[in-house]
Amino acid sequence: EDLSVVGSWSGLPLHMEFEAPFWSEKLPAASGGNLNVALTTHNQMNLGVGDVFRLLGDGVYDVAMTVADYAVADAPELEGLDVPLLALTADEARAMVDAARPMVEDIYNARFNSHVLAIAPYPPQVVFCNAEINGLDDLAGKKVRGSGRMTTLFLEALGAEGVNVSFSEVPGALQKGVVDCAITGAGSGYSAGWWEVSTHLLPIPLGGWDSVVTAINLDKWNSLDDATKALIEESIATDFEGPAWAAAQGALDNDIACLTGNGACASGDARSMTLVSVSDADFAKAREVLVGKVLPDWAERAGGDWAQRWNDSVGKTVGVMIGG
């Protein structure tokens, strides 16, 4: 059986350390040579990020993985998978994702004609500021570069102004004051040199965890025999999803150490950004904004009974109720 697989961003650790080894070595080996995988990535194909799951549904390839948030144009209900600030640690994020999994499966069945095989995290999206901030409150009135609809709406609800700047232009924008703060993965910010042009680091997932969904075309999935299906599901859980989650917290701690110099940095020279701690009162307030404004807006965008389903699954896990 041949599988054509489209991976996520080829330059990021999730692909290099977990996706690529799993699809090109571990899975073919586990199948005893029955599964042949051809792996590329969506950026190598020059696909628009919003097209990755559309084309998967059309059967242009068999398996695809990318950030769920890229697909919310076609499925606003999918925004509920990755709500900012609800999960602070990798364990909490995993619990949130696991709770959302049945919803995600239904969304992928209906919208993208595909079946979800795995959900793995990118590092949480934290806040880099080139201005003194001492807590969430200080974001009000600042120009912040976010990405994705829910993050931007959340920033605006916090009183900040969402500014659209492409990733590669962020350092210049921070330096020149076009933006005061910008959100990205801690590791990406470290390797792209954002510490050169920013002073304060707010190490909370204000942009969420950017969950990466791996899905397989439904017709292809249904054409596989039960043994192959079981093999794929089993090995992707133990050889890809598990290790990726297991490394997530360590990677976050390491990245923050690298940016601030608090602790050992395994990626290179440690930098000296100021680590801003977030008080419980700050959190409580942010949650209030989330529950009072951002999530109800989402419930309306998603329509149907998605808010109810979210309350019963994700909401229960993280202790948040929409409209309650």
Partner 1 sequence: MAQDLLSTLRRVNRVVALLVGVLLMGCVAFVLADIVLRQLGSSLGGTDEISGYVMAIATAWGMGYTLLELGHVRIDLLRSRAPAPGRALFDLAAMLALAGTVTLIAIRGWPVLSRSLANSSRANTPLETPLALVQAPWLAGWAWFAVMAWLTFVAAVILVLRGDFKASEATIGTFGELDALK
Partner 2 sequence: MIGYITAGLLGLLCLSIPVGIVLFLLGFGIDAFFSPFPLTKGLGNLVWSTSNNATLIAIPFFVLLGEILVRSGIATRTYAALDRWVSWLPGGLVHANVATATMFSATSGSSVATAATVATVAMPQAEKLGYDPKLFSGAIAAGGTLGIMIPPSINLIVYGFLTQTSIPRLFLAGLVPGIALALAFIAITAILCALRPELGGQRRVFPLSEMLRALLELIPIILLFTIIIGTIYQGWATPTEAAAVGVAGAIAIAAMFSGVTLAMLREAILGTVKITSMIMLVVIGASFLNFTLASAGIGRELQAFLEGLGLSPLAFMMVVVLIYIVLGFFIETLSLMVITIPIIVPLVVAQGFDPIWFGILMIVLIEMALITPPVGLNLYVVQGARRSGRMSEVMIGTIPYLLMMLLMVVALIAFPQIALFLPDALQ
Radius of gyration of the chain (CA): 20
Supply the DSSP symbol for 12.
S
Cα 140 to Cα 78: distance, rounded to the nearest angstrom: 28
Binds partner 2 by CB under 8 A, chosen from 169, 288, 300, 305: 169
Residues making up the chain, counted from first to last: 324
Q: Which does 172 bind (CB under 5 to 8 A by kind): partner 2, partner 1, none?
A: partner 2
CB-wise, 185 or 208, nearer to partner 2?
185
- Distance in Å, CB of 223 to partner 2, minimum: 13
CB–CB of 320/283 below 8 Å? Answer: no
CB–CB of 128/182 below 8 Å? Answer: yes
Question: Pattern 302-321, binding to partner 2, x per CB under 8 A?
Answer: --------------------
Report the chain's terminal Cα–Cα distance, integer Å: 49
Tokens found for residue 19: 């996706």
- Distance in Å, CB of 180 to partner 1, minimum: 12
Q: Is 177 in the site for partner 2 (CB under 8 A)?
A: yes
Question: Pattern 6-45, binding to partner 2, x per CB under 8 A?
Answer: ----xx--------------------------xxxx-xxx
Supply the DSSP symbol for 99.
H
188 residue type, one letter: S
Q: Which does 163 bind (CB under 5 to 8 A by kind): partner 2, partner 1, none?
A: partner 1
Cα 287 to Cα 267: distance, rounded to the nearest angstrom: 33
CB–CB of 84/208 below 8 Å? Answer: yes
Q: Is 267 in the site for partner 2 (CB under 8 A)?
A: no
CB-wise, 75 or 216, nearer to partner 1?
75
Q: Is 175 in the site for partner 2 (CB under 8 A)?
A: yes
Interface positions with partner 2 (CB under 8 A): 2, 4, 10-11, 38-41, 43-48, 50-51, 54-55, 58-62, 165-169, 171-173, 175-178, 188, 192-193
